[in-house]
Amino acid sequence: MTDSSYRPDPRRWKALAVTLAAGFMTMLDVSIVNVALPSIQSGIGASAGTVQWVVSGYVLTFGLVLVSGGRLGDALGRRQMFLISLAGFVAMSAFAGAAPTAGILVTARLLQGAVAGLLTPQNTGLIQELFRGAERGRAFGVFGAMIGVSTAVGPVLGGLIITAFGAQEGWRWVFYVNVPVGLLAFVLAMRLVPVVERRRIDVRSEIDFGGIVLLGLAVLGVLLPLVEAEQHGLSRMWWLFPAAAVVGFLFVHWERRTKRTGRAPLIDVELFASTPGYASGAALGAVYFCGFSGLWLVFALFFQQGLGYSPLESGLSVTPFAIGSAVSAALAGRLVARWGRRLTVTGLGLVTVALVAVVLLVWLAPTRHMGLLTALPLLVGGIGGGMVISPNTTLTLECVPTRVAGVAGGALQTGQRIGIAIGTAVLAGVYRAVVASSHEDFSDALAIAVVCAIAFILVALVLAVFELRAQRARRPADQSQRVTHAAPSG
């Protein structure tokens, strides 16, 4: 489908590079802090439970505001929301780096996660706004490469920073590094991200504050027990899951009522029912992230606790996945228009084969050199992973109207944040349970945790196959509609 009013902005690729640099920082801050936790604990005198919230608090508030951030971008302008959120992220990064106490650091991370959640959906919204056709696929390919690389390179970069600045104060520079990068991105974004004319709106009628509150409570009810799982969150907070289901039901009812009264809902729930491929693509992404994201924590635990690797060595051991993912995602973005869902099916198959190989190596050849032995399977897994994230984003959003691109992207990424929380809780919980019950058999713990990840990946593969079949079934119907509309009447 083409848009006759679309005129490509000559600065669109430069604008994309700037916005993705900012997005890279927000995604990187999910994983880079993991290797800095011992440095934070010793440098600021925090307890293990408090320091865990430096990671968990960021993930929690990040996930809470994604959809709201997308809706605000749709209504108020994505450039404005991007610049406001980026300025907030830079300020909160400086606040976190300068924190004198553990409590202030956790507060800074909660605020940093919130502004990161406001910024992230502006990336997908701007791609929808600036690109069309095959170019949009290539843009989402670069976006997918950014997600894959930022997730996997975080431990490496964190290890390098701690090594350079010392274990006692090095953690502060994990946050400070965002300040010059963010300021440069802000200046460039002011010049390169185009201004889009926006109609004047009535904030009270077009910003669904009731929906924002209800959705925030529902997401909080799902995420809080998961991010607190390390501190017995599931056993103490299990009741939040049914409470979240009730609030979620109320949210859907509220959104339908809001639409019937002629006001703009936070999410038009018909988006899931009437937009081809959106609901299945969002489910696929959430399930894939359950298996994908938890892997890096269990690999870090295995390499550092089981094999005695340094944080830097541990990060370098998973770098092949990042390299494969970055290259593959960029190439997949160019091929998605031609290959469609076949790319995600192939990619999920490669990830499954790679993780099975890792399990066999860990069980059959336990050795101090496991980081080298798993390099090839992780490279293959990264190639497969790059064929999943960016094509799935492109295909899930391809039929979404541009006017709701921000909220659709925010909802898609909220599912991914929930997937990250579930996967991290499940895989880390399984790993630690096996270590405790097997008298510190770290190889068995890693292997069984990876088997759990494979189970999630296989569920995503089934969803991808079903969506591939549905896509093939929709194509003749679409072609028939075009012929009908093109036929002369009477």
The percentage of the chain sitting over the pLDDT mark of 70, rounded to a whole number, equals 90
Task: Write down the H helix ranges in 166-177.
Answer: 170-176
Contact indicator for 313, 160 with CB cutoff of 8 Å: no
Q: Is residue 2 part of a domain?
A: no
pLDDT, tens digit, for every residue of 249-294? 998 888 888 888 877 777 777 778 778 888 888 899 889 988 887 7
Q: Is residue 82 part of a domain?
A: yes
Count the domains in the chain. Answer: 2
Q: Which domain does 219 fall in, by range?
A: 208-263
Note whether 186 and 224 are same-domain residues.
no
pLDDT, tens digit, for every residue of 342-371? 999 999 999 999 999 999 999 887 677 888
Residues 6 or more apart whose CB falls under 8 angstroms from that of 1 comprise none
Detail the DSSP E strand segments found in 161-231.
none
Boundary of a domain, candidates 244, 263, 282: 263
Q: Is residue 5 part of a domain?
A: no
Tell me, rounded to whole angstroms, the distance of Cα 334 from its chain centroid: 21
Note whether 185 and 232 are same-domain residues.
no
Contact indicator for 396, 278 with CB cutoff of 8 Å: yes
Q: Is residue 456 part of a domain?
A: yes
Note whether 253 and 352 are same-domain residues.
no
Per-residue pLDDT, 485: 40
Indicate the pLDDT class of residue 3, thresholds 50, 70 and 90. Answer: low
Note whether 130 and 156 are same-domain residues.
yes
Note whether 316 and 435 are same-domain residues.
yes
The 10 Å Cβ neighbour count of residue 50 is 17
Q: Is residue 479 part of a domain?
A: no
Note whether 78 and 216 are same-domain residues.
no
With tokens 């790059």, the residue in question is 386
Q: Is residue 214 part of a domain?
A: yes
Which range scores top for mean pLDDT: 45-49, 412-416, 443-447?
Answer: 443-447
Task: Write down the H helix ranges in 209-318.
Answer: 209-227, 233-237, 240-260, 270-274, 278-301, 311-317
CATH at 430: 1.20.1250.20
Note whether 252 and 303 are same-domain residues.
no
Task: Write down the H helix ranges in 37-169.
Answer: 37-44, 48-76, 78-97, 102-130, 133-165
pLDDT, tens digit, for every residue of 68-85? 788 788 777 888 889 999
Note whether 152 and 287 are same-domain residues.
yes
Note whether 306 and 257 are same-domain residues.
no
Note whether 258 and 272 are same-domain residues.
no
Note whether 59 and 142 are same-domain residues.
yes
Residues 6 or more apart whose CB falls under 8 angstroms from that of 35 comprise 154, 155, 158, 159, 162, 300, 311, 314, 315
If one compares 151 and 427, the residue with the highest pLDDT of the two is 427
Note whether 252 and 304 are same-domain residues.
no
Q: Is residue 63 part of a domain?
A: yes
Q: Using CA atoms, how far apart are residues 446 and 455, in angstroms rounded to an integer?
A: 14
